[in-house]
Amino acid sequence: MGCTIGIDLGTTNSCMAISEGGNAVVIQTGEGPRVMPSVVAFTPAGDRLVGIVAKRQAITNPKDTVTSIKRLMGRKYEELEKETFNVSYDIIPNDKGDAVVRISDGRTFTPQEISSMILQKMKYRAEEFLGEEVTDVVVTVPAHFNEIQRKATKAACTIAGLNVKRVLNEPTAAALAFTDAVERRKIAVFDFGGGTFDISILQVVNGIFEVKATTGNTQLGGDDFDARLVDWIMNEFKRSKGIDLSDDPVAPQRVREAAERAKCELSTALETSINLPFIASSDIGPVHLEMSITRGLFEGLVRDLVESTKPLCEQVMEDAGLTHDDLETVVLVGGSTRIPLVRKLVEETFHQEPVHSVNPDEVVAMGAAIAGSVVSGQRKDLVLLDVTSLTLGVETLGGIMAPIIEKNSPLPIKRSKMFTTAVDNQQVVGIHVLQGERTLAEENRSLARFELVGISPAPRGVPRIEVSFSIDANGILFVNAKDAVTGKHQEMKVNPSGGLSDEDIRRLIQDARQNRETDRDRIKLIEVRNIADQSIYEASKLLNSSRDRLDADSTGELEAALQELRTARDGSSIDAVEGAMKEISMVMHTVRNILNMVDSMEEEDSSGGIATLDVSEE
């Protein structure tokens, strides 16, 4: 049986790891960093780019570069209308009302499809790293993700050719990576990433990791900090220069990238500068954006967002039945926890200095890898006990939600409640499954609707209808409604895809399989082109610096090899590019040898050809 990898599918960056000998090892992305930007881009030439190469061309191709897709997972378009998204691409509703991405050529993609492209790239990298096929995965999600969002994430993995062994809450994964199995601890995991915030309380006793309570905000993260800073920069530029950058197709993306860099720099510096030359033009010529941003200014812009996490932290402590003195450790997870203001709030809230000895960008993937070793049977010393993040129930008479499984209930779980009819001789009962904490049904998230048919005619209030909810270890919900008199029952697995039908998923899986080899070839071609660009740069530099010292034949040979590489680089043949790079490498080696000989001859000529001793005759 193959290995099970752990994947942290993040809003800003994604990371993957494998458990070897009980220890988690981060799998390199193959592009330098240990994390991969969660970015997908579509080029005018028809190429699909993922990761760093996609992020690099965001400025020149903003409408076709998709970022922060995690914030759209399993969500309806109408839910997003009150939110601010720091993105350049179009978000529209499809015919089901789900939020989808539209690129400039009119094509639309669901968040699951975009996420599957990121996962495919990670799967490919993992197989390169391990030297074997990878099929099984433990994937993490924010603890406060609802059922639809969890199933949308699982559907994305399925489309990418990955078999999900477990859907694990991110704070639980972080605790797994941080805490030794033999330790006895009560831990708070403060998880503040690029697009989501979670706070969870866990108790670890003799290898049993039990989540006591969890809560959070799936629409709060580092993206919101960036958006605040972008708005301030653009407003300040408009005030000082009289130019509105929001009307420009490229300028806002340049400002977004500069704002993200400034945010990161202000975590270690008290002040940073933003310099964007030729950001706009006016009657007098080009206009540049130049301004300084202090940490105090940035903290003022985002303070309310940071402080909005404090009530959630206090709530989760109350839900867990603990006080600040009961906690041994507070662990920081997610890139946004590098911000000094965030760390200060955590320290003030929990009355202790948080732990940041683990890399917040990697710890979740490492924990997922450890969970993978548990579900695959490699480790027997750990037990994972997670909880539901939100209350689950059904709509009753008057539009009231009747809870069946309360939030923070341990998983797996099965609960039932008895209901009756509201109308005489009612033979059909509609079951409306809801998730949320509000009393009114319409204020909670609708998960599914179905009907129980065949109830025995009887006066209202007489029939006994048992509604059962069961949730497995992955947080997947099953609903069953049964008439106690007739035995008639109806069971369903709540929408497993977050908007995609089973047929949609099968079609996307088939498309992904058909395109898998093509995608790998494209990735390889892009990588080879990047190497070729470096060779072209070095060869051009060598040619320009040595043209006056080379004979016509050597110069012509290098120019010909350079032109051949440029032509191959613009083509679609990997073999042609590699062959041209090999050829130019040999030519450059020969040219450098010739230059070394020329340099030696010039040194000899400058000394007169014969060395003399500076001595005087006695």
Tell me the per-residue pLDDT of 564-617, one tens digit each, with 9 for 90 and over. 999 998 888 888 999 999 999 999 998 888 888 877 776 666 655 544 445 444
List Cβ neighbours of 192 (8 Å cut-off, separation of 6 or more). Answer: 221, 222, 309, 332, 333, 334, 336, 337, 342
Q: What is the pLDDT of residue 618?
A: 42
Q: What is the pLDDT of residue 2?
A: 65
Please give the C-alpha separations between residue 536 and each of 49, 224, 305, 555, 562, in angstroms, as whole numbers: 22, 40, 47, 15, 7
Question: Which of 28-32, 154-158, 378-382, 545-549 shows the highest mean pLDDT?
Answer: 154-158
Q: Which residue has the tokens 């009657």?
A: 283
Q: What is the pLDDT of residue 611?
A: 45
Task: Please list the residues that pair with 198 across neighbouring strands.
Answer: 191, 216
What single DSSP character describes residue 410?
B
- Segment 112-134 shows an average pLDDT of 92
Active-site residue, from 55, 70, 121, 165? 70
Q: What is the pLDDT of residue 616?
A: 47
Query: Mean pLDDT in the chain?
Result: 86
Handedness of CA 479, 482, 487, 489 (dihedral sign): negative
Whole-number Å distance between alpha carbons of 524 and 274: 35
Cβ atoms of 373 and 331 within 8 Å: the answer is no
- Segment 124-148 shows an average pLDDT of 90
- Segment 409-425 shows an average pLDDT of 87
Residue 191: active-site member = yes
What tens digit of pLDDT does each residue of 4-14 get? Answer: 999 999 999 99
Tokens matching residue 370: 């450890």
Backbone angles phi, psi at 228, to 5 degrees: -60, -45
- Segment 374-385 shows an average pLDDT of 81
ω into residue 277 within 30 of 0, thus cis? no
Cβ atoms of 426 and 444 within 8 Å: the answer is no
Q: What is the pLDDT of residue 84?
A: 66
Whole-number Å distance between alpha carbons of 338 and 221: 12
Whole-number Å distance between alpha carbons of 132 and 501: 31
Q: What is the pLDDT of residue 258?
A: 93
Give the SS3 label for residue 13: strand
Residue 170: active-site member = yes
What's the pLDDT band for 179 if we cut at 50, 70, 90? Answer: low
Half-sphere exposure of 197 (CA within 13 A, CB side): 23
Active-site residue, from 8, 147, 198, 361? 8
Whole-number Å distance between alpha carbons of 92 and 102: 7
- Segment 499-513 shows an average pLDDT of 69
Whole-number Å distance between alpha carbons of 208 and 445: 32
Cβ atoms of 437 and 490 within 8 Å: the answer is no
The answer to which of 122-136, 468-482, 493-507 has the lowest mean pLDDT is 493-507
pLDDT at 176 over 60: yes
Of 251, 257, 248, nearest to 279 (Cα)? 251
Q: What is the pLDDT of residue 617?
A: 47
What's the pLDDT band for 236 if we cut at 50, 70, 90? Answer: very high
What's the pLDDT band for 429 if we cut at 50, 70, 90? Answer: confident
- Segment 107-126 shows an average pLDDT of 94
Q: Tell me the percentage of the chain whose pLDDT exceeds 70.
A: 90
Q: Which residue has the tokens 């202090």?
A: 294
pLDDT at 82 over 80: no
Q: What is the pLDDT of residue 457?
A: 85
Tokens matching residue 482: 């049964």
Active-site residue, from 170, 223, 224, 361? 170
Q: Tell me the percentage of the chain whose pLDDT exceeds 90.
A: 40
Burial class of residue 402, CB neighbours in 10 A (0-12, 13-18, 19+):
middle
Better pLDDT: 298 or 22? 298
- Segment 176-189 shows an average pLDDT of 76
Better pLDDT: 107 or 501? 107
Please give the C-alpha separations between residue 420 and each of 401, 429, 462, 484, in angstroms, as whole numbers: 15, 9, 7, 10
Tokens matching residue 457: 């005619």
Neighbours of 128 (CB within 10 A): 14
Residue 603: active-site member = no
List Cβ neighbours of 573 (8 Å cut-off, separation of 6 or more). Answer: none
Rg of the chain on CA atoms, in Å:
30
| pTM score over 0.75 | yes
What's the pLDDT band for 398 if we cut at 50, 70, 90? Answer: confident
Neighbours of 300 (CB within 10 A): 13
Q: How far apart are the first and last CA of the chain?
A: 90
Please give the C-alpha separations between residue 68 and each of 73, 363, 454, in angstroms, as whole numbers: 10, 20, 46
Of 475, 505, 358, nearest to 26 (Cα)? 358
Task: Please list the residues that pair with 449 across neighbouring strands.
Answer: 432
What tens digit of pLDDT does each residue of 199-209 get? Answer: 999 988 877 88
What is the arrangement of strands in the sheet containing 108-109, beginning at the earlier edge strand?
Answer: 90-93, 99-102, 108-109
pLDDT at 177 over 50: yes
Whole-number Å distance between alpha carbons of 601 and 11: 60
**Phi and psi based region of residue 485 (left: phi greater than 0; alpha: psi -120 to 50; beta: remaining):** alpha
Active-site residue, from 191, 223, 226, 260? 191
